[in-house]
């Protein structure tokens, strides 16, 4: 089985995982919008034992939203998203954006679309540029 590797924005937190993902959800819920600062989260799910931390694990800060089964984890230096265990401990969640290598699974679905950012539909069809527009 092949592996994927990933890192935070500053590069101090690095990890690898088996490329063995059962779920890949794009979550549009309000909490994921808050956690990512964007329209949706992009979360890969694998077995907890598949993660191998290579560096910076001591920089990982975890936040569990009180009363909800929602968590977030980030590098304390740069704020970049990093993997974390689900609250149940049954799954390891890897934010797809922190991967540095291709992953074999494609997004399966968009979930919590009833909470979708009101600007998201326009975002999909907005002009596309390869860099800042001139
Ligand atoms: Zn970092
Ligand atoms: Zn969500």
pTM exceeds 0.85: yes
CA 107 to CA 123: how far, in whole Å? 18
- Residues 9-59: tens digit of each pLDDT: 999 999 999 999 999 999 999 999 999 999 999 999 999 999 999 999 999
Residue 8 sits in a domain whose CATH number is 2.170.150.70
**40 assigned to some structural domain:** yes
2 Cβ neighbours under 8 A, 6+ residues apart: 18, 19, 104
**133 assigned to some structural domain:** no
How many angstroms does the Cα of residue 81 sit away from the middle of ligand 1?
A: 8
**51 assigned to some structural domain:** yes
Q: Let me know: does 87 contact 71? Beta carbons within 8 Å.
A: yes
Overall domain count for the chain: 1
- Residues 77-99: tens digit of each pLDDT: 999 999 999 999 999 999 999 99
- Enclosing H/E stretch for 18: strand 14-18
- Residues in the chain, total: 134
**134 assigned to some structural domain:** no
**131 assigned to some structural domain:** no
Q: Let me know: does 10 contact 80? Beta carbons within 8 Å.
A: yes
Nearest bound ligand to the CA of residue 116:
2
How many angstroms does the Cα of residue 8 sit away from the middle of ligand 2?
A: 20
Predicted pLDDT of residue 88: 92
How many angstroms does the Cα of residue 2 sit away from the middle of ligand 1?
A: 25
Q: Which domain holds residue 113?
A: 3-125
């Amino acid at each position: 089985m092949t592996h994927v590797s990933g890192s935070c924005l500053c590069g101090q937190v690095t990890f690898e995982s088996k490329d063995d993902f059962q779920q890949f959800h794009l979550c549009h819920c309000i909490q994921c919008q808050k956690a990512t600062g964007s329209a949706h989260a992009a979360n890969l799910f694998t077995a907890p034992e598949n993660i191998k931390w290579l560096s910076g694990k001591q920089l990982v800060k975890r936040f569990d939203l009180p009363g909800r089964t929602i968590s977030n984890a980030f590098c304390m230096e740069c704020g970049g998203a990093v993997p974390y265990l689900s609250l149940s401990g049954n799954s390891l969640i890897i934010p797809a954006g922190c991967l540095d290598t291709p992953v074999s699974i494609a997004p399966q679905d968009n979930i919590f679309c009833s909470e979708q950012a009101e600007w998201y539909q326009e975002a999909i069809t907005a002009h596309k540029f390869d860099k800042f527009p001139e």
